[in-house]
Amino acid sequence: MATLTLTLAALATSAVPGLVAVAVRPHEGSDDDYSAAILTTPDDEIIVSVPRTQQAETIQSASALGMAALTDGARAELPFAVPRSLGMTRAGDTRAVATTFLSGARFDASDLAADAILIDSLAETLAAIHALPRSVAQQGGLVERTARDQRLLVTRVVDRAQASRYLPETVHARWTEVLEAAELWDFEPLMVHGTLSADSLLIEDDRVSGVLDWSGLSIGDPASDVAWLWEAGEDVFDAVMGRYAKRSGIGESAALRSRSAFYHELEIAKWLLHGVDTHDAQVIDDAVGMLDRLVDRLSLLAEPVPSRNPIGEAAAMELLGQTPEVADRLSETAAFEALDEDRMFGFDTDFIEPLPEEDAVRGGDEAAASGVGKGSASDTADAQLTEPIDDLLTEPISDDDLPRDSRR
């Protein structure tokens, strides 16, 4: 670990010219997708990270694009901190990226209570993001998605799940009914974070102090930013959205509520498609089991669309909480084009081929001996962290894919 940490420190000095580091430590919050270390400077702390998978590299690129789009003026409108990109350098076949480090505690959505002090700050955070001017996306070269575009994208997810032959007819009928309800898809696109979840929020003194992972920043459906709240339960969702409605000035929306719950249900479809695409029988069986339980829940309901809670109070959140996070790898060419259709759900796994597991940074004794501030990226990170794969193309979406409006 010491060798890896020193290697990352050396990469940071290469990425940020003139960087003076007085201490370095491993980033305890690192996951399997990144190797990361935190450097202490005389003025601040920075974090340097190297992606271990191709999907992580794609997310890192998109996040850098999103952070760059947030100008000083836009950041001044946000009641929380946003990391800043400081520089990057080569690290084997990938790159190391240095950004400002934001401190803060993490929380589990399932631990939220409707009367928690944090609820108001969550509503404030959502309202502030959605109030950002559209020019942030337009001038930053980010995705601009219409309500029709959003409807087409989720239609495609449902169609692919149905084509797998694992989707129960009851669930397919439910999702088709949602897609055909034209009133649900008549909304005004706003600036959205795009990948918001409890994992992307930092907390200090019962307030949101920082927001991470700006890879999904775009113009899109605000419902996509609140779907994760269903993990905490209906009472928490209602508490946050009640305050959000007052802060945003748009009032409570039954359509937004229904779309967000629908997006949350579609996480099961994503997990199923991940198993199908990677030929993983265990994942498929897991997803099929969750779909069977969803059928049981739906059979107890007779509510028309839009529904307040598609699968019934806390049971829905318990079911969706069992869906593992998909950590797949995107193709090199999907780095930005795929974001146009995948940001709503983080990163879709529709056309992803798995890569073999690779070692992270294999910086040996040479990197350790180089120390902080010596050598270049090639000198200190000779490990090959990712392996390029062939370009993967998605089929274009035609107007015929759009479901017809329900006449019921």
| Whether residue 217 is found in the same domain as residue 300 | yes
| Whether residue 136 is found in the same domain as residue 240 | yes
| Whether residue 8 is found in the same domain as residue 36 | yes
| Whether residue 172 is found in the same domain as residue 276 | yes
- Average pLDDT for the chain: 80
| Whether residue 239 is found in the same domain as residue 259 | yes
Q: Residues 6 or more apart from 274 whose CB is under 8 A from it?
A: 280, 283, 326, 328, 349
Residue 332 pLDDT exceeds 90: no
Between 130 and 395, the more confident residue is 130
Which of 124-133, 139-148, 284-293, 322-331 has the lowest average pLDDT? 322-331
Burial 152-172 (b: 16+ CB within 10 A, else e): bbbbbbbbbbbebebbeebbb
Nearest CA to 36 out of 85, 88, 97, 84 is that of: 97
Whether residue 349 lies inside any domain: the answer is no
Structure tokens at 160: 């692919």
| Whether residue 83 is found in the same domain as residue 164 | no
Q: Would you say 388 and 55 are in contact if contact means Cβ atoms under 8 Å apart?
A: no
Alpha-carbon gap, residue 192 to 204, rounded angstroms: 23
pLDDT tens per residue, range 208-229: 999 999 999 999 999 999 999 9
| Whether residue 98 is found in the same domain as residue 114 | no
Q: Cα 369 from chain centroid?
A: 37
- In the chain, the number of structural domains is 2
Structure tokens at 103: 């401190």
| Whether residue 188 is found in the same domain as residue 122 | yes
| Whether residue 238 is found in the same domain as residue 122 | yes
The torsion region of residue 371 among left (phi > 0), alpha (psi -120 to 50) and beta comes to left
Whether residue 168 lies inside any domain: the answer is yes
Angle in degrees, CA 359, 362, 365, rounded to 5:
155
Q: Which domain holds residue 46?
A: 2-102+359-374
* Angle between helix 169-180 and helix 281-299 axes, rounded to 10 deg: 70
Whether residue 284 lies inside any domain: the answer is yes
Alpha helix (H) residue ranges in 134-222: 135-140, 147-163, 169-180
| Whether residue 62 is found in the same domain as residue 156 | no
Alpha-carbon gap, residue 231 to 254, rounded angstroms: 18
Q: What CATH number did the domain enclosing 232 receive?
A: 3.90.1200.10
pLDDT tens per residue, range 139-157: 999 999 999 999 999 999 9
**pLDDT, average across residues 42-58:** 93
| Whether residue 89 is found in the same domain as residue 210 | no
Structure tokens at 48: 């340097």
Q: Would you say 279 and 152 are in contact if contact means Cβ atoms under 8 Å apart?
A: no
| Whether residue 269 is found in the same domain as residue 325 | yes
pLDDT tens per residue, range 334-378: 334 444 444 444 434 343 344 444 444 344 444 333 343 434 333
